[in-house]
Amino acid sequence: MGVVVKKVELSWLDSTYVWPVLKGMAITFEHFIKQLFTPTSKRYTIQYPEMKKEMPEGYRGLHELKRFEDGAIKCVACFMCQEACPARCISIEAEEFSDLNITQGFEEKRPAQFKIDMLRCIYCGMCEEACPKDAIWLRKDYEVAAYDRLSMQYGKWDLMNTYSKVDGKDRITQDTTPTVPRRTIVM
Amino acid sequence: MDKLASLLHTTPAIVWMALKIVIVFGGVMSLAAIFTWVERRGSAMIQDRIGPNRAALFGKIRIIGLAQILADGIKMFFKEDLIPTDANRRLFWLAPFLAFVPALLGFAVIPFGKSFMSGGHTYHLSVLDPGNGMGMLYPLAIGGMAVYGVLVAAWSSNNKWSILGGMRASAAMVSYEIGMSLAVVAIFMTAGGYDPSEIITAQGHLPWTWNVVRQPLGFIVFFTCMFAETNRLPFDFAEGESEIVAGFNTEFGSMKFSLMALAEYSHMMTASALIATLYFGGWQVPFVKDPSVMLSVACFVLKLVFFAWVFVWIRWTVPRFRYDQLMRLGWKRMLPLSMVNLVFHAWRMSQGH
């Protein structure tokens, strides 16, 4: 298969080589001046530690364990995410908790431990897909780094508080007793 | 001012000489160092990037990244100095100096300011006083020496890529030198002498009497040849990532590499000083008939920096040539053009212009 190469016919001025070089220099100088007088915030380059990229919708970053308004965890420890995880980085320990003393009384399941090994996680979002309660979300934080391997093991409280600063919520470090039962047990 | 003048009269000539050497070579070397940063930052700006702006003094004072020069220097200085086993050790040590010294030496004869009279003495602002008998021939001869730096570096590293790069570069340098010399000869003819101060005074203070207007063809030839001489981008045949790795400095590391790089930039400074002297009236200030000494020095430095910037500018505008294109351009275009230029000016002079 032959390709016919079209020969470019240069005009007299272009074939001197000097004029095209001057034209090229005008272009590069235009870029230079434009870039020189563009404020840093409007340049293409994002100056990383000071400026951060706004991630698009649907970006799969660091996980968050969602909570209810009253601070109780949404997760019901159904192990769906653990099963769905292709990297096998989630490990859950379930516990039962009940508070039959308060008026309505209820019994529910929640995770006592919820660990994600961030070194293994591939951020595929399968856990988010699998979750029946919308309790685990992958959000936009991409700065997951640490100096040692142990700090990459994210526990339940790490995951619950990942975005508390961004969302303006309080950090919680212990399970709050729900004020309203999620599902009333009819006796 | 009087005190300064009397100090000048009482200092012996040798001190004045040493002072000039320190100022000129110190100045050229620091300008060359600054231009390594200018090159990186300027190229970044041209390509809509930002470039090195992070290096800071004591981690605090950023000064638009100028500390990068220091950081680079310190880094280069403390790196391990490797010599390949089969390299010619002596020549390998010598090569960076052979590259660096001629690049600086060419500057010696160029007047960077107006000569001034003080206390019955005339003080010349160039390391070698005018009337030394060498004149403009000296930087041309020293420029020819620069080939040795490249070639010795290439040969001593005992590496095929290096040798190929060095051979290519020296062939290019030698073939462009002919065109360049003929362009300069036309200037010698019209100026009536080859002393730089004569050439500068012959050009006068009006921009349209400068040689660039009188001999535009010669200027184009000389300017192009300067790129080949300094081994810079449209003609950088000493290097070539895709073909011969890093060419003649493949085997050079740490401070030796730094010296090689600095030699290129010093060469650039000398080249732009030559362009300014030969074609843009040296220290002449446009439209000022009798400038003060400081003004003339400032004007010369301005011209020098501008042409050094043009070197950077063109590097990031024009793509590289192929080797055969380079040779064709050198022998079939530049040489005949400078010949035409020479003959034309000879004919004009014979007509009594």
Question: Each residue of B283-309: pLDDT tens digit?
Answer: 888 888 888 888 888 999 999 999 999
pLDDT in tens, B82-94: 888 888 888 888 8
Question: Å from A10 to nearest chain B CA?
Answer: 17
Q: Which residues of A touch B50 (CB under 8 A)?
A: 40, 43, 45, 47
How much is the pTM? 0.80
* Average pLDDT over every residue of B267-277: 90
* Average pLDDT over every residue of B137-161: 85
Helix and strand totals (H; E) in chain B: 14, 2
Dihedral, B98, B104, B110, B116 alpha carbons, nearest 10? -130
B56 interfacial to chain A (CB closer than 8 Å): no
Q: Which residues of A touch B42 (CB under 8 A)?
A: 32
Banded pLDDT at B344 (limits 50, 70, 90): very high
Please check the confidence at residue B116 and state whether its pLDDT lies above 70: yes
pLDDT in tens, A92-106: 998 887 765 555 556
Task: Enumerate residue ranges in chain A where pLDDT < 70.
Answer: 99-107, 177-187
Report the alpha-carbon distance of residue A174 to residue A171 in Å, rounded.
10
Q: Which residues of B touch A28 (CB under 8 A)?
A: 46, 313, 316-317
Dihedral, A114, A116, A117, A122 alpha carbons, nearest 10? 160
Give the pLDDT confidence score for residue B305 in this predicted structure: 92
Look at A25 and B317 and tell me if their CB atoms are within 8 Å: yes
Please check the confidence at residue B246 and state whether its pLDDT lies above 70: yes
- Answer yes or no: are the C-beta atoms of B265 and B272 closer than 8 Å: no
Q: What is the mean pLDDT of chain B?
A: 85
Mutation site for A-interface testing, chosen from B43, B48, B223, B232 by largest number of A Cβ within 10 Å: B48
Give the pLDDT confidence score for residue A185 in this predicted structure: 41
Query: What is the percentage of chain B residues whose pLDDT exceeds 90?
Result: 7
Look at A21 and B48 and tell me if their CB atoms are within 8 Å: no
B6 interfacial to chain A (CB closer than 8 Å): no
Mutation site for B-interface testing, chosen from A29, A34, A35, A47 by largest number of B Cβ within 10 Å: A35
Q: B51-55, B110-114, B143-147, B305-309 — which one is most confidently predicted on average?
A: B305-309
Q: What are phi and psi of A90, to 5 degrees?
A: -95, 135
